[in-house]
């Protein structure tokens, strides 16, 4: 158990509204990631963080922003949700130097209607 908690686990929201997903970890890992998973596309990296206030874009970052003000929390924000952002969102951490595998949270199912 990597001690990762995602919230909310399920959310339905309307197009155009802002949405924030939270990832909380209890083991002081430096590296944190946000992925989305869609049929036919697999897991795709949205944003990642390598420390407090240190973040960078991944493969599919358009329409998303992140913040990390504390080691334990990594927030993903959809500024104005669109139907194309309906997906399952996974937070992950990486132990040690970031060169090992990622360990995933339980996922957040987001539906934009």
Q: By CB under 8 A, what part of segment 48-77 binds other proteins?
A: 48, 50, 56, 58-59
The answer to the question of residue 99 lying near other proteins (CB under 8 A) is: yes
Is residue 14 at the binding interface for other proteins, with CB under 8 A as the rule?
Answer: no
Cross-strand bridge partners of residue 48: 33, 56
For residues 43 and 55, what is the distance between their CA atoms, to the nearest angstrom?
A: 19
What is the edge-to-edge ordering of all strands in the sheet holding 4-7? 4-7, 19-25, 73-78, 64-70
CB-nearer residue toward other proteins: 85 or 102: 102
- Residues at the contact surface with other proteins, assessed by CB under 8 A: 33, 40-45, 48, 50, 56, 58-59, 90, 98-107
């Amino acid at each position: 158990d990597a001690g990762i908690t995602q919230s909310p686990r399920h959310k339905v929201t309307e197009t155009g509204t802002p949405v924030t997903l939270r990832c909380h970890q209890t083991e002081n890992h430096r590296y944190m990631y946000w992925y989305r998973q869609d049929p036919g596309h697999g897991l795709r990296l949205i944003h990642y963080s390598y420390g407090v206030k240190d973040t960078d874009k991944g493969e599919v970052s358009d329409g998303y922003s992140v913040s990390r003000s504390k080691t334990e929390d990594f927030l993903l924000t959809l500024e104005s949700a669109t139907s194309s952002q309906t997906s399952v969102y996974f937070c992950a951490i990486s132990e040690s130097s970031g060169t090992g595998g990622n360990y995933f949270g339980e996922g957040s199912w987001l539906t934009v209607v």
